[in-house]
Amino acid sequence: MFALLKKEIVNGTNFKTREEARQSVFEYIYEFYNPSRKQEELGHLSPNEFVLSLQEQVL
């Protein structure tokens, strides 16, 4: 995760302030790990929906 973050956000970016860098990293992580965003790898389910479907299969 951190290698991808560095490659896509940090490397080559000149942030004016520490706050600007923090905000950029926060937005990247939120988009990357957004629990409600549908994921192709999860059968077009959000991570939350995928976990619920696994729990239902176990029960």
At residue 19, the pLDDT reads: 93
At residue 26, the pLDDT reads: 84
Instruction: Residue 41: give the domain boundaries.
Output: 2-58
For residue range 9-53, what is the model confidence (pLDDT) as tens digits?
Answer: 778 888 999 999 889 888 887 777 676 777 777 888 887 788 888
Work out how many domains the chain is built from and give that number.
1
CA atoms of 17 and 44, how far apart (whole Å): 37
Question: Could you tell me which residue, 4 or 56, shows the higher pLDDT?
Answer: 56
> Cβ distance 36 to 46 under 8 Å?
yes
At residue 18, the pLDDT reads: 92
CA dihedral sign of residues 28, 34, 37, 43: positive
Contacts 24+ apart (CB under 8 A), 12-19: none
Q: Identify each DSSP E strand in the chain by its residue range.
A: none
